[in-house]
Amino acid sequence: MSQSDHTPTQELLALVTGYVQGVGFRYFAVQSALSLGLHGFARNESNGDVTIVAQGARPALEHLLVLLRQGPPAAEVEEVHTTWREPTEHFSGFHVRW
């Protein structure tokens, strides 16, 4: 058995604030998450923030957090508010939501 067989799936809720809409942030998040084997979604909020819900192994989620704090070149990330929780629903793939 591999290590991942013993790793429980965790869920990360990340609320990204700053100049993060209109700069490809959601697509950056989707690409980053898919490359890490995570499931979930990225969604713009009406106040200009971006919400990311990602599920997977804790090390991959922590790596995603590092990437989210950097963002794509045109973004200016001010803060990433995080909440760790048990998965509440099952996601297949990682997508942009509207």
Q: 47 catalytic, yes or no?
A: no
Classify strands 10-19 and 50-56 as parallel, antiparallel or unpaired. Answer: antiparallel
Contact indicator for 11, 54 with CB cutoff of 8 Å = yes
Alpha-carbon distance 76 to 78, whole Å?
Answer: 6
Q: Among 44, 47, 58, 85, which one carries the catalytic annotation?
A: 44
Catalytic residues: 26, 44
